[in-house]
Structure 1
Amino acid sequence: MSDKKIKICHVTYDMRIGGTEQVILNLILGTKDQFNHQVLCIESPLGPFAKKLIDEEINIQSLTRKPGFDIQLLQQIRQYIMNEEIDILHCHQYTPWSYGVLACIGLKTKVIFTEHGRFYPDSISFKRKIINPLLSLVTAKITAISHATKEALITYENLSKEKIEVIYNGIEKLKFHNTETEKLDSLKEKLDLNSNDFILGTIARFDPIKNHEMMIRSIAELNSEGLSCTLILVGDGENKQQLESLIDQLNIREKVVMTGYQPNPKYYFKLFDVFLLTSFSEGTSMTLLEAMSLGLPSIVTDVGGNPEIITHNKNGIVIPSNNTDSLKKAIRSLYDNTRIKCQLSSNAMDDFNKFFIANKMNQRYSNIYKDIVNG
């Protein structure tokens, strides 16, 4: 085993653009010199991140999961594991884990389960509370992306806290070069932003769980109270029509910019004075980490992994969930307050480099891979 690379197969839903998929991508690209990585998706189409992996000559394949419990899918995964002589099956999210564990029964392949986040509101399934401890017996390691996620696995999934290790998501630091200034200026001109406005923004799918409505209502009230604020919403999704209706209802169309989906949204971060994350539930937000990597002050709700990443009044501001008055107060505290903004900015960048850069995450998983194969 020591003379060849450990063969790791990542089992996931697909490789669309999302937090789970970003973690898999970063982990593979960051450790591909140490390990032989492969990806097996249980749904199709593969998604945009798949192309990046294919370009790096990473073997990636997709299967087609049928509704209900798919026995054929289970057999296909098992056959793949045996054909490829997989050492570690790294399952991302619950459904890939349940299929992956069952597929590995009786094989030498070790199983890792990573929980990337929870549905909102969370709930207990009697069936899972019975089955999960049994699945855990065939699982070498369980990881969670935050302590809040770990607690959810203990409370709702009946998994042992001793077996769960917290590994925060890690990303590559966003970088800008001097040659990109022209692109940024062009974007400012395109969006027709008021140069005197305080710019608040977020990058997230338009989903009710993200609570964009609170941002929109806060911006409307702050502007009516005499502050000059613009809100930039980068993203798209099922809640778009409701958000547009609310913007029109509040008559603030000139103060809210909706950019639509952006495949490379990093330039928008450079437009923001403050990054907002007002979700009802979060694991470890990748866009929050991206904002921190640029030293952006952030205002986040006190849910999930947010308060584990943002320390109130140190590297950002933490507010109660779904509380418009608290959001307005936080925005006011940063409005035209250069000293506080600079302090939060510096601390955010420092904390990112200490805890959330991709190398930190990659090293933690690399140690697990080696330990469970060689231990």
Structure 2
Amino acid sequence: MAKIKVVHIITLLELGGAQENTLYTCEHLDKNKFDVMLLCGKGGILDAQTKNIRIYFVKELMREICPFYDLIAFIKIYKILKKEKPDIVHTHSSKAGIIGRWAAYYAKVPLIIHTFHGFGFNDEQNYFVRKIYILAERLTAKITDKLVAVSYENISKGLKNKIGNELQYTMIRSGIKLQDYQIDIDFEKKKKEFGLKNEHIVGMIACFKKQKAPLDFIKTAKSVCAEKPDAKFILVGDGVLRKRIEAEIKKLNLEKNVILTGWRKDTNEIIKIFDVFVLTSLWEGLPR
């Protein structure tokens, strides 16, 4: 019997739940039943984890909205889908979700699925920008066979904004590899990597973007350090707000208290040395 050909499409393989779960799905779908491919933008920290996955990189597929590059990305994705003739296209993330589903629709892919790992619109956005995002999701839902959400709250939010109908939705919770966190580490050695000994450590792991509100983490550090001058704050991650975070650290004289690690692949070990874990997100699809 012929295998079912599935193409997963995601904007960028940056560090995050949507990206890690998409990779995990691609790797672990039954290879006796499914022929799986991944299509994404280039330059994500998780690109190196695609060695065992058949992949197409479309460099024009990026997070930022740019009509010129978005059109090129659409055309390239359309051509790839026409060439591969998949039975199913499954999109993830807002940008890839819109472009990928319309490319699949015009390429006459039989089944189109989209997973909401969270929504591209939120209450913090400009009113008109938010309405444009919602309208785009409403229109694209009309060409989508199935909408997957990672929480019931996401389904409720989608229906409230008239994105799809109740019969289109199904809920599949996001997951993590528990075995990656059920480990023993050398605490002193791990702390020494960051120049730490017995200080109290407050930590956060996140992409440096508005949704995660990393600047609130820095302001919190200032308040805590006013009472506990020896407290240390570790911020794991990177992103578009990096320079603003660095400027805020300097402005608040927190250079000795806040450690920026950049992207790390050993977050399962780093989290073990935190005395307190903080997540300052303004909203989440499903915080893992």
Compute the displacement of 1:116 (Å): 2.1
- For residues 98 and 245 of structure 1, what CA distance do their matches in structure 2 show? 35
In structure 2, what is the equivalent of residue 142 of structure 1? 147
Taking the aligned partners of 1:162 and 1:154, their CA distance within structure 2 comes to 11
How far the C-alpha of 1:10 sits from its partner, in A, is 0.7
- Which AA in structure 2 matches 1:49? L
Give the residue type in structure 2 aligned to 1:81.
L
Residue matched to 1:77? 77
Match of 1:166 in 2: 171
Q: Report deviation, 1:17.
A: 3.1
Report which stretch shifted further, 132-141 or 16-25: 132-141
Counterpart for residue 91 of structure 2: 91
Is contact 2:82–2:107 with CA below 8 Å preserved after alignment?
no
Specify the alignment match of 2:38 in structure 1: 39
User: How much does 1:91 deviate?
Assistant: 1.3
Structure 1 equivalent of residue 272 of structure 2:
270
Distance 1:139 1:186, change over 3 A: same
Deviates more, 1:163-172 or 1:77-86: 77-86
Report the structure, 1 or 2, having the larger helix content: 1
Pairwise mapping of residues 8-23 of structure 1 onto structure 2 (< 5 A)?
Answer: 8-23=6-21
Q: What SS class does the counterpart of residue 278 from structure 1 fall into?
A: coil
1:118 paired to 2:119: yes
Unpaired stretches in structure 1, ≥5 consecutive residues: 290-375
* Structure 1 SS opposite 2:91: strand
Q: State the AA in 1 paired with 2:194.
A: L
SS in 2 for 1:219: helix
**What is aligned with 1:260?**
262
Structure 2: runs of 5+ lacking an equivalent? none
Which residue, out of 231, 234, 242, partners 2:233? 231
Q: Is the 8 A contact 1:143 1:167 kept in 2?
A: yes
Change (3 A) 1:82 1:273: same
How far off is 1:90 after superposition? 0.4
> Relative to structure 1, is the Cα distance of residues 193 and 10 closer, same or farther in structure 2, using a 3 angstrom cutoff?
same
Provide the residue aligned with 1:30 in structure 2.
28
Distance in 1 between residues matched to 2:153 and 2:96, nearest whole Å: 21
Q: Bigger CA drift: 134-143 or 225-234?
A: 225-234
Alpha-carbon separation, structure 2, partners of 1:99 and 1:201: 36
Q: Which amino acid aligns with 2:195?
A: D
CA RMSD of aligned residues (A): 3.1
Query: In 2, are the aligned partners of 1:7 and 1:37 still within 8 Å (CA)?
Result: yes
1:206–1:238 CA contact under 8 A, matched in 2? yes
Deviation at 1:242, TM superposition (A): 3.3
Deviations 1:261-309 (A, max 9, x none): 3233222111102210011122223xxx3xxxxxxxxxxxxxxxxxxxx
Contact residue 7 and residue 87 of structure 1 kept, 8 A: yes
Q: Return closer, same or farther for 1:154/1:267 CA change in 2, 3 Å cut-off.
A: same
Q: Secondary structure at the match of 2:285?
A: coil
1:157–1:13 distance in 2 versus 1, CA, 3 Å: farther
Counterpart AA for 1:51: A
Q: What displacement does 1:25 show?
A: 0.4
Q: 2:48 aligns with which of 51, 58, 61?
A: 51
Q: Classify the secondary structure of the residue corresponding to 2:260.
A: strand
Specify the SS of the correspondent of 2:176.
coil
Q: Deviations over 1:212-252 (max 9, x none)?
A: 33333333333433586322111233333433343344444
Aligned equivalents of 1:108, 1:231: Cα separation in 2: 48
Percent identity over the alignment is 25
Is the deviation greater in 219-228 or in 205-214? 219-228
Structure 1 pair 251–149 and aligned structure 2 pair: CA distance change class (3 A):
same
- Work out whether residues 81 and 107 of structure 2, in 8 Å CA contact, stay in contact via their aligned partners in 1: no
Q: CA deviation at 1:149?
A: 3.0
What is the alpha-carbon distance in structure 1 between the residues aligned to residue 242 and residue 191 of structure 2? 23
